[in-house]
């Protein structure tokens, strides 16, 4: 008697290709280009902490991370500085920690607006391509032991046929 085992099928995940119209190694907009996206500009002007929290979450960080800057009394902005330098490193944007520090010291809200615009531009420049499904099948195992029906749920390590 021949019994067949179940066949496993695996599928490759989708491939993500970026088709960005952004300049390579540059911010998509300048620190003072707030008028390029009025919704982000207005959010940053009227409710900067809402913009900061949303941008932080969109970047993959904790939603409440920017609220820690209130602990520093508005004089230091370590969260803004670390977010900007992390974004610069993740997207291979030219610059240095000194550039980030100068931008943060000049206008913190403008830096958050720039980071929000950067994330928005990069999110809109992604294209997902699904490759053709190419399933991989395992060959079924045959059991040729006469008079014994194997239990498919239990497979002994060292079968003694």
pLDDT tens profile 81-119: 999 999 999 999 999 999 999 999 988 999 999 999 999
The answer to whether residue 117 is domain-embedded is: yes
The answer to whether residue 157 is domain-embedded is: no
The answer to whether residue 81 is domain-embedded is: yes
Q: Which residues of 120-155 are buried (b: 16+ CB within 10 A; e: fewer)?
A: bbbeeeeeeeeeeeeeeeeeeeebeeeeeeeeeeee
The answer to whether residue 156 is domain-embedded is: no
Provide the residue range defining the domain that includes 105: 15-129
pLDDT tens profile 43-60: 999 999 999 999 999 999
Q: Which of 8, 14, 9, 10 is nearest to 131 (CA)?
A: 14
> Average model confidence (pLDDT) for the chain?
78
The answer to whether residue 95 is domain-embedded is: yes
pLDDT tens profile 121-154: 988 766 666 655 555 555 555 555 565 555 555 5
Question: Domain total for the chain?
Answer: 1
């Amino acid at each position: 008697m021949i019994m067949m085992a179940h066949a496993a099928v695996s599928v490759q995940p989708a491939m993500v290709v970026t088709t960005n119209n952004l300049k390579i190694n540059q911010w998509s907009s300048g620190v003072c280009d707030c008028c390029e996206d009025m919704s982000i500009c207005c959010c940053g002007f009227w409710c900067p902490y809402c913009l900061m929290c949303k941008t932080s979450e969109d970047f993959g960080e904790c939603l409440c991370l920017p609220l820690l800057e209130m602990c520093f009394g508005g004089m230091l902005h370590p969260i803004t500085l670390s977010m900007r330098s992390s974004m610069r490193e993740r997207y291979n944007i030219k610059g240095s920690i000194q550039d980030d520090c100068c931008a943060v010291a000049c206008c913190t809200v403008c830096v958050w607006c720039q980071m929000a615009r950067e994330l928005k531009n990069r999110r809109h420049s992604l294209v997902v391509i699904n490759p053709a499904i190419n399933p991989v099948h395992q060959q079924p195992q045959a059991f040729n032991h006469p008079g014994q029906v194997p239990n498919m749920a239990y497979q002994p390590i060292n079968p003694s046929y």
